Structure 1
Amino acid sequence: MPIEIDAWGQETTAANALAVERLDGAILAYCGMRTDIGDRMKTVFEADPEMPMALAAKGAFLKMFATEKMDAAAAKSAEQLRERLAAGDGTTRERGHLDALAAWVAGDLEGACRAWEALTIDHPRDLLALKLAQLNRFYLGDPAGMRGAIARALYAWDEDAPGYGYLMGSYAFALEEDGAYHEAELKGREAIEIDRTDVWAAHAVAHVMEMQGRVGQGLGWLDHLKSDWDGVHNFKHHAHWHRALFALELGRLDQALEIYDQDVWTEIAGDYLDVSNAASLLWRLEEEGVAVGDRWAPIADLAAERAAEHALVFATGHFAMALAADGRGDDLERLKHAQEAHACTADDTYAQVWQACGRALVGAAEAVRAGRPGRAVDLLAPVRDRVRLIGGSWAQRDLFERLLIDAALADDRRTLARALVSERLERRPGNRFGRDRLGRLSG
């Protein structure tokens, strides 16, 4: 099969240049989190049904859904890619993508990251590999790895390269998660100057403002950009989730609930990230005394449908919170049984993280809702330094720190609660939750 050159100057096995051009467009749509990724991928396969890089991209996009059905489809794509490359065609880069996808399908996130990062040493302009490595480092709770994966490739990029802005937005998020807030904001703003619709870059800057306590600026920043997200897929719900967090931190509880109803939990919600957005926001609102009515029910319905899945402990933890909050005891037991069964028979990343901290997170959420805060503290306090292993951002994992503090207060473990609040306020001096809980301790 002939070799074509893609938009980044990389050799790509393909039947024709049209297939490569269409795949380039699909990769850029993925980076921009656009709604037409699937439609674009269909046109790629119309031009070349067996294109190796298209099979690699398809498998990766399917894996991102983190469902059993899509995982099975991703495994099929990996096998098709393996068969295609076994026929003798294919570049070293394409074989590297096979190694990474095969590891991801097998549940080995670290192995997948190592494969993508190895191929980007020789192919630093492989935007898909750079993005996938960062995504999986994110779900390994490895911000330094996220940062390094992109930093090693920056020398090969300039403003004229397709997707340069998307790379800057990705780098901004990695810098923020690694604590380099000033540099992160600069890169994120640079990406927005290139493309105002870049919701990933917008959210990277919002994370900086969240961590620095610049809540009024954060809400204003996202409000200024939200009209540009019409073509963005459901990740825009997560950007709106950040708007709600800013409103919550400002004490605007009604506004936070309004954002939830209008922009976080919508008629197209259904992804695990939608469930985590909704569950974590409702949990926070209830911590502040807001009555959320029957809003837990549809979230718990989706969580129950996916209770037996084991793609990400991050997702499972939020499924469990929704089930516990809605009183779905039978479904919660089913969830725990499924995860324990997997952990006993598998040695993949999920099983390792479940045993390290996932079991404790789920048990703590269940205990809080059962009126046993002491049990929640006993489970969560010993693993709090390991919670990062579930992945997610500092802002997302903050849910579990708040849970622990409130459980310690409810169980009258004032010394522990004071220590945790002291640590929190040292990192985030103006934090409303921390100041409120300090006031309760002083009262």
Structure 2
Amino acid sequence: MKDLQGNRIFQASAEAVDYYNQAVSAFNIYTGDPFSLVGKAVEISPDFAMAHIFKAYLLGLATEPVLNGYAKDTLRHLKTMHLSDREASHLGALDLMLKGEWTAAALVLDIHNCNYPLDIVALQAGHLMDFYRANARNLRDRLARILPYWSGNDNFFKVHNWWHRALYHQELGQENVVLSIYDNQIRHGNSTAALELVDASAMLWRLSLEGVGVGDRWDELADCWQAHADGHSYTFNDWHAIMAYLGAGRDIDVEKNLKDCKNIKPGLESEMQQWTRQTTLPLIEGFIAFWRKDYQTAIEQLYGARFIANSFGGSHAQRDIIDLTLIEASIRAGQPELAQALANERLALKPNSRLNRGFLARSKGRAVSGVH
């Protein structure tokens, strides 16, 4: 029998292992009551050594005198049991920890996880020891040592993390790297999940603002948005769908989505429809105006919208696209004073930003290498 991470389990029934897995999962995300859950596992299978080991860690890592005594009692019981090599390795760490030798215990778990990289109990116990010892380097390196053994394909944040990395490369003017990340990470597999389509739309829009050619990437993205942009479900999605429709030149879809967003019956607004009316419509209309080169209208819609955009979600990084579009509209509209003022806002926060310095230089009529 194995636990959720694939480590072998001995002397335990399926029911006991289920309670054990629940207890470890609760510990992993610091919620619920792992003590009572692992207690049930031990009650069902008294010879379940790994459950006793986990219980001892929970008690000892709590750093409370009474619980520390209970942990020592558990350790004494464990020393009477027949243990596997992995379980015996845990015992060495527990023995040292409960003697107050935290650094030595953490070192044992360093080596332990080299041999058992999927042992999440050892990993988290060691990580807490690193925290208690203020060992910042090992807080990082303990995870780095075993990370290649863990799957990255099922990480729900994988695409969004790559999106954030792409922003750094864009900041450095490495548009080819950004496009490579887009193709190989953000849109690898052509996911139709709305959360990933949002990242894709925002990335292509940012590149387009800088004058980077994105080829037919807009077309594939616009196709995927068809199932999600209905003007009612989540208005943040509609805004990003509009970006894709504009980029793909699908004016019919733009107008349909815009009409759906405006189709709100007076007096019957849901909260989502309030967001649409108050926040999304100014953004959508501003982005449409920008793409169609009506820069003055874009400025009028987006200048005020940027202050209320956090009313419907998204991170600061995601909503930054509003300010980027606004300042680009100001430059293209021939309003250098406004463009300089907006650039100064950004430079006050990030004075060394290539993008921000580029905006300021362009607002003053100067060409900047690497900035379009």
- TM-score, normalisation: structure 2: 0.60
Match of 1:386 in 2: 308
TM-aligned CA deviation for residue 228 of structure 1: 5.7
| Distance change (3 Å), C-alpha of 1:321 and 1:190 | farther
Distance in 1, matches of 2:27 and 2:226, equals 34
TM-aligned CA deviation for residue 427 of structure 1: 1.0
TM-aligned CA deviation for residue 385 of structure 1: 0.6
TM-aligned CA deviation for residue 347 of structure 1: 3.6
Match of 2:163 in 1: 241
1:286 and 2:215 correspond: no
Distance in 2, matches of 1:327 and 1:346, equals 33
| Aligned ranges 1:133-282 → 2 under 5 Å | 195=143, 230-282=152-204
1:377 and 2:316 correspond: no
TM-aligned CA deviation for residue 335 of structure 1: 1.4
| Distance change (3 Å), C-alpha of 1:281 and 1:28 | farther
| Distance change (3 Å), C-alpha of 1:189 and 1:244 | farther
| Distance change (3 Å), C-alpha of 1:323 and 1:193 | same
Structure 2 letter corresponding to 1:271 = A
Match of 2:359 in 1: 437
Distance in 1, matches of 2:196 and 2:160, equals 7
| Distance change (3 Å), C-alpha of 1:372 and 1:335 | same
Match of 1:337 among 259, 265, 269: 259
Structure 2 letter corresponding to 1:420 = L
1:395 and 2:321 correspond: no
Does the Cα contact within 8 Å between 2:337 and 2:363 map onto a contact in 1?
A: no
RMSD of aligned residue pairs (Cα, Å):
3.5
Distance in 2, matches of 1:309 and 1:243, equals 30
TM-aligned CA deviation for residue 440 of structure 1: 0.7
| Distance change (3 Å), C-alpha of 1:415 and 1:339 | same
Does the Cα contact within 8 Å between 2:336 and 2:364 map onto a contact in 1?
A: no
Does the Cα contact within 8 Å between 2:200 and 2:221 map onto a contact in 1?
A: yes
| Distance change (3 Å), C-alpha of 1:283 and 1:227 | farther
Gaps in structure 2 of 5+ consecutive residues: 1-14, 30-119, 128-133, 366-372
Distance in 2, matches of 1:263 and 1:334, equals 30
| Distance change (3 Å), C-alpha of 1:20 and 1:370 | farther
Distance in 2, matches of 1:368 and 1:347, equals 28
Match of 2:63 in 1: none
1:428 and 2:340 correspond: no
TM-aligned CA deviation for residue 24 of structure 1: 6.4
**Aligned residues: percent identity?**
29
Does the Cα contact within 8 Å between 2:201 and 2:244 map onto a contact in 1?
A: yes
| Distance change (3 Å), C-alpha of 1:241 and 1:190 | farther
- Cα offsets for 1:107-136 (capped at 9, x unmatched): xxxxxxxxxxxxxxxxxxxxxxxxxxxxxx
Match of 2:74 in 1: none
TM-aligned CA deviation for residue 23 of structure 1: 6.1
Does the Cα contact within 8 Å between 2:340 and 2:364 map onto a contact in 1?
A: no
- Considering only CA atoms, is the larger Rg found in Structure 1 or Structure 2? 2
TM-aligned CA deviation for residue 19 of structure 1: 6.9
TM-aligned CA deviation for residue 273 of structure 1: 1.7
TM-aligned CA deviation for residue 352 of structure 1: 2.2
TM-aligned CA deviation for residue 311 of structure 1: 3.4
Moved more, 189-198 or 421-430: 189-198
Does the Cα contact within 8 Å between 1:303 and 1:320 map onto a contact in 2?
A: no
Does the Cα contact within 8 Å between 1:304 and 1:323 map onto a contact in 2?
A: no
Does the Cα contact within 8 Å between 2:231 and 2:258 map onto a contact in 1?
A: no
Structure 1 letter corresponding to 2:165 = R
Distance in 2, matches of 1:227 and 1:245, equals 27
| Distance change (3 Å), C-alpha of 1:343 and 1:362 | farther
Distance in 2, matches of 1:433 and 1:383, equals 22
Distance in 2, matches of 1:340 and 1:22, equals 49
Structure 2 letter corresponding to 1:314 = F
Distance in 1, matches of 2:281 and 2:326, equals 15
| Distance change (3 Å), C-alpha of 1:239 and 1:28 | farther
Distance in 2, matches of 1:246 and 1:360, equals 28
Structure 2 letter corresponding to 1:422 = N
Structure 1 letter corresponding to 2:241 = F
Distance in 2, matches of 1:18 and 1:312, equals 40
Secondary structure in structure 2 of the residue aligned to 1:412: coil
TM-aligned CA deviation for residue 229 of structure 1: 5.4
Match of 1:298 among 220, 239, 249: 220
Of structures 1 and 2, the one with the larger relative CO (CA 8 A, separation 6+) is: 1
TM-aligned CA deviation for residue 281 of structure 1: 0.9
TM-aligned CA deviation for residue 280 of structure 1: 0.9
| Distance change (3 Å), C-alpha of 1:231 and 1:336 | same
Structure 1 letter corresponding to 2:244 = A
Match of 1:179 in 2: none
Does the Cα contact within 8 Å between 2:233 and 2:272 map onto a contact in 1?
A: yes
| Distance change (3 Å), C-alpha of 1:376 and 1:191 | farther
Match of 1:314 in 2: 236
Distance in 2, matches of 1:424 and 1:240, equals 24
Does the Cα contact within 8 Å between 1:307 and 1:331 map onto a contact in 2?
A: no
TM-aligned CA deviation for residue 326 of structure 1: 1.1
